Structure 1
Amino acid sequence: MEKSICTWHFFVPVATTLSAGLNDDTPASCASRSKEESTMKLVSMRLIVQDIKKAVEFYELVTGYQAEWLAHVSAEIITPGPVPVPVPVLAIGIVETVVFFKENCAQPASNQSAILEFMVDDIDKEFFRLKEFGIEFFHKPKKMPWGNRAMQIRDPEGTLISFFTPVTDTAINRFKR
């Protein structure tokens, strides 16, 4: 599988905030761009955590890549991603960084709806690798209805993490787009 280099950022409470910015005054043309005319790209997912050191150590263990600390409140991990599907940036920051956006817009350890997903070459090999570290599994590898074989764990702050390997032709082809 051809790989590209992608970056995961870590800053210090676990929450992800995404605002579509659409309201009754938004022109319809802004809500429905074609791929050819769109300049918007999803490039980052930010986790706000209580304990950045613990979170970064966990994601280093899980990904197998070492973090680069950008400041005492932020770090990033660069992981390979499938081409042409780029992996967005995973940003992790301390609760004190939230005020740079809007005070109280994100709270640590409160995510109950988002799942971080990592595509891996061999889900069973990854299961046994992580099992050696004593990681508790939310569920062990199993085939999902959409064609992936997947397992799930939680990070130290409770964020659900899914690891998957596409196993059906439809799922495999979905990641070749």
Structure 2
Amino acid sequence: MKLAHARIVTNDVPGLTRFYQEVTGMTPVGDERYVEFHGAELALAISSRQVIDLHSAGAATPQANRSMILDFEVEDVDAERLRLQAIVAEFVMEPKTQPWGNRSMLFRDPDGNLINMFAVARATAKA
């Protein structure tokens, strides 16, 4: 089995697509109802409710999720915070170093989905 996509259902595919294109720098593939951003091992899909309803009407509700976090690993969380200043409307947590050493920040996409950008703690070389 292979995990293929994490999918966000939205009422505004074009708007959310623009947001994730600006945040990730990835190029979307798709149309006004469904797009994918292809990462190295997992794709992020953005789908209209109408596409979901073709499978099972009412199975997903846009902007209703408060239990999932999308995680993006970056090199420099603080640099990303500055870059995203004009793109992100709501920062939930400013960059901070976690007890396990990773540096991370939390923010929401235009639909309210929570995003974590983090940099993995790197072991420092001993002289």
Scaled to the shorter chain, the TM-score interval is 0.7 to 0.9
Change (3 A) 1:133 1:102: closer
Which residue is equivalent to 2:33?
Answer: 73
Identity, % of aligned pairs? 36
User: What code does the residue aligned with 1:158 have?
Assistant: G
**TM-score, scaled relative to structure 1:** 0.64
Runs of 4+ in 1 over 3 A off after TM superposition: 132-135
Calculate the TM-score normalised by the size of structure 2: 0.87
Deviations 1:88-120 (A, max 9, x none): 211111010112332211100000100000000
**Is the alpha carbon distance of 1:111 and 1:168 closer, same or farther for their aligned partners in structure 2, counting shifts above 3 Å?**
same
Deviation at 1:65, TM superposition (A): 2.4
For 1:149, the equivalent position in structure 2 comes to 103
| Equivalent of 2:18 in 57, 65, 88 | 57
Report the CA distance between 1:130 and its aligned residue: 0.7
Unaligned runs of 5+ in 1: 1-39, 170-177
Partner Cα distance (1:60, 1:146) in 2? 30
- The code of the aligned residue for 1:75 comes to V
Provide the rounded CA distance (Å) in 1 between the counterparts of 2:81 and 2:9. Answer: 26
Higher relative contact order (CA 8 A, sep 6+): 1
Distance apart, 1:168 and its partner CA: 4.7
- Find the counterpart in structure 1 of residue 6 from structure 2: 45
Q: Counterparts in 2 of 1:1-177, with a 5 A limit? A: 40-68=1-29, 70-79=30-39, 81=40, 86=41, 88-133=42-87, 135-169=89-123
Classify the secondary structure of the residue corresponding to 1:99: helix
SS in 1 for 2:103: strand
Alpha-carbon distance between aligned partners in 2 of 1:168 and 1:101, rounded to the nearest angstrom? 44
Count how many residue pairs are aligned between Structure 1 and Structure 2: 123
